């Protein structure tokens, strides 16, 4: 089994073009040779933020009294935002469960922290609706098209800020940066 340190070493050699190729492999579900299930997306998202100038924390666990209580897919720091990352590489649209989990993780952090859930396949309609009601925590939703768009444009930090601002102004967690609509 590959360790987090080995994943991190591998992904830090990737540049934008490599990330675009990895994204194609993720979409085609052909990453098993080098990446365990779900790991490719986690590291791809974090590396994209890093290449775009963000400070990041790679995936880690939080322990209390020797017990693992949280597994965090990563953290992104950019433009005065601190954002916990959750990634889901599933065959079906994501339901509310990972959003509820992330909401609980945000409850244990400073009020200014936000969350972002990245899903290759997107989110159910009910999930999008319910995510708008997790206040006061802010959780932004990113679908596969937005991930791809961010990679192609080599610009994910600005899109995070844009999604956050729309959420603040209009209470919309799933603002689509590819079409600038909701």
Neighbours of 59 (CB within 10 A): 18
Prediction pTM value:
0.95
| pLDDT one-digit tens code per residue, 65-114 | 999 999 999 999 999 999 999 999 999 999 999 999 999 999 999 999 99
pLDDT 10s digits, 113-163: 999 999 999 999 999 999 999 878 899 999 999 999 999 999 999 999 999
* Interatomic CA distance for residues 146 and 86, integer angstroms: 15
Sign, CA torsion 123/78/24/5: negative
């Amino acid at each position: 089994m590959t360790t987090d340190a080995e994943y991190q070493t591998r992904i830090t050699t990737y540049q934008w073009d490599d990330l675009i190729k990895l994204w194609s492999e993720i979409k085609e579900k052909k990453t098993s040779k080098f990446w365990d299930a779900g790991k490719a997306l986690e590291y791809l998202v974090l590396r994209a933020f890093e290449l775009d100038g963000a400070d990041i924390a790679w995936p880690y666990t939080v322990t209390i009294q020797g017990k693992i209580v949280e597994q965090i897919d990563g953290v992104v720091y950019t433009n005065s935002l601190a954002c916990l990352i959750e990634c889901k590489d599933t065959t079906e649209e994501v339901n509310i469960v990972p959003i509820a989990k992330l909401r609980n993780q945000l409850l244990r952090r400073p009020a200014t922290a936000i969350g972002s859930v990245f899903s290759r396949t997107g989110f159910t309609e009910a999930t999008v609706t319910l995510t708008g009601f997790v206040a006061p925590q802010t959780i932004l939703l990113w679908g596969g098209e937005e991930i791809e768009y961010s990679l192609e444009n080599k610009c994910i930090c600005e899109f995070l800020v844009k999604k956050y601002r729309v959420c603040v102004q209009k209470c919309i967690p799933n603002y689509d940066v590819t079409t600038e609509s909701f």
